[in-house]
Structure 1
Amino acid sequence: MKLPTYAALAVAALLGPLLGAPSASAAALPAVNMEATVKAAQIDPRRADNTLTPGAKSSVLLVEQALRDRGLLDAQWVDGYFGTSTIAAYARYQQSLGYTGLDANGFPGRSSLTQLGNNRFTVTAIIQPGARVSLDGFVVNTRTKNMLVEAERLLGRDLVLEQGSYNPGGDPTSAGTHDGGGAVDISVGGMTTAVRTAAVTALRRVGFAAWLRSPAQGDWPWHIHAVAISDTDLSGQAQHQAGDYYLGLNGLANRGPDDGPKVEIRTWEEYQRL
């Protein structure tokens, strides 16, 4: 084997940055795991205590340190817990980037997280909702559509939407759940009790926080309500439902116990890696 000379190594060191090779400083940057960070941003604000979301502490700390250094988060809240103070600070950061409305609700998205990490950290395990598409005459994003298609495959039958996503004010009974992405309502017409349970099970398996809703619970007919966990376009209310699902709750305002089938909770990305 012919070893490179010192001169060749020196030239490579000089030309590397010009040719797009990663510098030693860039390679040394710590990484924020976006999947873990987004999961914490859903669950932590809904907790009754300060328990940390497993696997998220190091990433959340990097985000909080960056927010602190921008003067957006008090040092006492740099603790690896993505609670309400961190959510509020992240929302202020999003607003500083010119984001408004649902784009500035304190929920980390790929673009804002990447900009926050400039020269501080890299972003790995990226979540992307994808483009908005039409499904059953309703608008959803590509990630949600792919999840529904896989749930249909597991169930062995089609699922028919009654409400889609990105529908602000479209249904006053939804309390804003469908204002952003990742939230759908599914018809149970023609389904037996067993099929309804199987449908909710399939939806949960692929990464939805899903429940069978009855007229006794609110001003609505029987239907399945599903929220795509960790969809970065989720409205604030949908984020709360996803967090409550992780905590064994029913996603309703009364925060009662989960009344759905028991399924190991996974995101769409985690399901795909199985």
Structure 2
Amino acid sequence: MLKKVTALTALALFSLGVAAPANATQNATLAALPVANMEAVLKAAQIDPRRPDSALTPGAKDSVLLVEQALAAKSLLATQYVDGHFGTTTITAYATYQRSLGYTGIDASGLPGPSSLQQLGTSRYTVGNVVSAGAKVNYRGGLMNARTKAMLVAAEGLLGSSLSITQGSYNPGGVDASAGTHDGGGALDISVSGMSAATRTTVTRNLRLVGFAAWIRTPAQGFAYHIHAIALSDPDQSSGAQHQAGDYYLGQNGLAGRGADDGPAVSPKRTWEEYQRS
């Protein structure tokens, strides 16, 4: 018998009552399951809790429904909230599921990570377009994950110059004014020392182009001048960073008052993965 049997062949053999190799049967089962797009789920989990209504994130409904149906099957989400909108109730339900797996802190924020998303989907769905934060590394004077470093390197490539980090990621209890956004991954504060106003804007625009929600913070806002950047769809985001990412998508400035976005416009707003495919 051939060493490799496709999922289609396995299904055909099964219908004839002929036993197929275990791995082929497993592949056939997986092939029959729907796919939850992790990129779409993460985008909805950032944006939907910040919406003033229950509108859906474009392109995310089918994948979010798979996640919500799985949460409902575990009695963690009432069926009335199985609607494709990854709002605060779904965030709470997902956080409860994460805690049931033994996760704590940032790992139980309600933002889906690859491991919990795959475990939740067992026998219900498979996960596609997986987003991984990667290992923690030090770069340009700050701690960050490998995905954030790759994004920063790409932005520096567009700029043709290097940047300096004044506050990195995974810094619980860090700068008070940061309000917890740096507790998890994907959060950077970037020095603007010696930059002109035009250069600060150029840096911010290039950060946005590669997938950061980025803003110039100013003394008028209560900060020393710096650029604050959140890596969109980083699965290690703190709740504060998650909210800022959602606000960025919704045209806001990421501050507590949720004012209008005061940064350079880029269109479309893309994640790192979307930038790489563009």
Residue matched to 1:245: 248
Amino acid at match of 2:246: G
Listed as ranges, the matches of 1:7-86 within 5 Å are 10=13, 14-17=19-22, 19-20=23-24, 22-86=26-90
Amino acid at match of 2:240: Q
Q: State the aligned residue count.
A: 265
Does 1:263 find its partner at 2:269?
A: no
Q: Per the alignment, in what secondary structure is the counterpart of residue 184 of structure 1?
A: strand
Does 1:156 find its partner at 2:160?
A: yes
Counterpart-to-counterpart distance in 2, 1:107 and 1:199: 28
- Asked whether the 8 Å contact 1:36–1:55 carries over to 2, the reply is yes
- Asked whether the 8 Å contact 1:16–1:23 carries over to 2, the reply is no
Identical amino acids, percent of aligned pairs: 63
TM-score, structure 1 length as denominator?
0.94
Residue matched to 2:3: none
Report the RMSD for the aligned CA atoms in angstroms: 1.6
Stretches of structure 2 that go unaligned for 5 or more consecutive residues are: 1-8
Does 1:222 find its partner at 2:225?
A: yes
Amino acid at match of 2:208: R
Amino acid at match of 1:217: Q
Counterpart-to-counterpart distance in 2, 1:259 and 1:10: 61
Counterpart-to-counterpart distance in 2, 1:129 and 1:10: 40
Counterpart-to-counterpart distance in 2, 1:93 and 1:241: 23
| Superposed displacement of residue 110, structure 1 | 0.1
Amino acid at match of 1:36: A
Amino acid at match of 1:138: G
TM-score, structure 2 length as denominator?
0.92
Does 1:233 find its partner at 2:245?
A: no
Q: Per the alignment, in what secondary structure is the counterpart of residue 220 of structure 2?
A: coil
Select 1:133's aligned residue among 110, 130, 137: 137
Residue matched to 1:112: 116
**Per-residue deviation, residues 179-222 of structure 1 (Å, max 9, x unmatched):** 0000000000111111111000000000000000001102x210
| Superposed displacement of residue 14, structure 1 | 2.5
**Per-residue deviation, residues 16-37 of structure 1 (Å, max 9, x unmatched):** 32x4564433211000000000
Amino acid at match of 1:233: D
- Asked whether the 8 Å contact 2:189–2:227 carries over to 1, the reply is yes
Stretches of structure 1 that go unaligned for 5 or more consecutive residues are: 1-5
Q: Per the alignment, in what secondary structure is the counterpart of residue 32 of structure 1?
A: strand
- Asked whether the 8 Å contact 1:204–1:210 carries over to 2, the reply is yes
